[in-house]
């Protein structure tokens, strides 16, 4: 713990974004949780098994490489500070074929309905957060009980991208489903205040939620590539299709620039021009 704390402080001093630093520390913690080794005990074979574990989750090669790089940097730091005698990463060569850039597919409104129809209680909450509330994957992972105001029917993202704060209105359906879900699973939320948890009773990670959504897509007989971020793409597009203007969607998604919203939603150029003109 002491080593990770000093490493985290070093990253912040070097000017790394706080959100990025927290992600790096989460990846490091995950590595030690999976390997069940102390820093001095880690061997190249442990690194190999860790990479194998992530490959089995069918994550994109860039995601695996990013996580690997975070852990490798930490071990370089440990070696430099003489906390370890040998750096196991010096004796392991990452072999990772580069995946083609994954195109996030926008689901139709009918496909979204199919997902909801086949979803269990926990899967429904994931859909509500990533589709109904348009949350990014890491935002979904961070939502706690304290972020929901059932009376006002709002959900607060305390630290979105670039640590941006935003409040999202909840539909009556989402508000009620969240309330019912948390009532049933109150013993978990009392422990860690997280909304979503895994079978071990700890915070549900985004890669686990992604695996759940892919299984749900199979049950719903959906051929499209369903991802957590793709659900966010989908709600943005569906809002546009239903006549919501770009400024409102920009606020809903938490974008800093309107240009990001225009690219993100992949709406035909003609439709974008019409919406921009109509909202001047």
- Measured distance CA(275)–CA(247) in Å, rounded: 10
Q: In this structure, is the dihedral angle defined by the CA atoms of residues 45, 47, 50 and 51, taken in order, positive or negative?
A: negative
Q: In this structure, is the dihedral angle defined by the CA atoms of residues 225, 230, 235 and 238, taken in order, positive or negative?
A: negative
Render 175-236 in DSSP notation, one character per residue: HHHHHHHHHHTHHHHHHH-BS-B-TTSSBPPHHHHHHHHHHHHHHTT--S---HHHHHHHHH
How far is the CA of 126 from the CAs of 4, 96, 165, 242, in angstroms?
31, 30, 20, 23
| Pick from 180, 178, 177, 168: nearest CA to 239 | 168
Q: Is residue 80 flagged as an active site residue? A: no
Q: Is residue 264 flagged as an active site residue? A: yes
Candidates 255, 256, 266, 269; catalytic one: 255
Candidates 162, 264, 266, 280; catalytic one: 264
CB contact set of 54 (below 8 Å; sequence gap of 6+):
63, 64, 67
Candidates 53, 161, 205, 214; catalytic one: 161
Q: Is residue 136 flagged as an active site residue? A: yes
Q: Is residue 128 flagged as an active site residue? A: no
| Pairing mode of beta strands 166-169, 154-157 | antiparallel
Phi, psi of 194 (to 5 degrees): -85, 150
Q: Is residue 203 flagged as an active site residue? A: no
Q: Is residue 70 flagged as an active site residue? A: no
Candidates 128, 136, 207, 233; catalytic one: 136
Candidates 65, 159, 229, 238; catalytic one: 229
- Measured distance CA(184)–CA(11) in Å, rounded: 40
- Measured distance CA(28)–CA(57) in Å, rounded: 18
Catalytic sites, residue numbers: 136, 161, 229, 232, 255, 264
């Amino acid at each position: 713990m002491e080593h990770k704390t000093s490493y985290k402080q070093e990253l912040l001093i070097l000017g790394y974004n706080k959100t990025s630093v927290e992600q790096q520390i989460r990846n490091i913690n995950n590595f030690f949780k999976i390997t069940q080794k102390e820093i001095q005990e880690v061997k190249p074979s442990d690194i190999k098994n860790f990479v194998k574990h992530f490959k089995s989750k069918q994550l994109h090669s860039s995601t695996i490489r990013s996580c690997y790089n975070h852990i490798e940097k930490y071990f370089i730091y440990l070696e430099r500070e003489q906390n370890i005698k040998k750096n196991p990463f010096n004796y392991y060569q990452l072999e990772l074929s580069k995946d083609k850039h994954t195109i996030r597919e926008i689901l139709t409104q009918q496909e979204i309905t199919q997902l909801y129809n086949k979803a269990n209680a926990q899967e429904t909450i994931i859909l509500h957060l990533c589709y109904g509330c348009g949350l990014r994957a890491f935002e979904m992972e961070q939502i706690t009980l304290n972020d929901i105001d059932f009376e006002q029917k709002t959900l607060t993202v305390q630290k979105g991208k670039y640590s941006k704060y935003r409040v999202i209105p909840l539909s009556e359906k989402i508000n009620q489903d969240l309330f019912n879900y948390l009532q049933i699973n109150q013993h978990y939320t009392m422990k860690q205040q997280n909304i979503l948890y895994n079978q071990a009773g700890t915070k549900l990670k985004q890669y686990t939620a992604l695996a759940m959504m892919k299984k749900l897509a199979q049950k719903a007989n959906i051929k499209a590539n369903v991802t957590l971020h793709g659900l966010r793409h989908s709600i943005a597009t569906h809002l546009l299709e239903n006549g919501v203007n770009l400024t409102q969607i920009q606020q809903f998604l938490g974008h800093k620039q309107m240009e990001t919203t225009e690219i993100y939603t992949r709406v035909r150029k003609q439709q974008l021009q019409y919406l921009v003109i109509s909202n001047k």
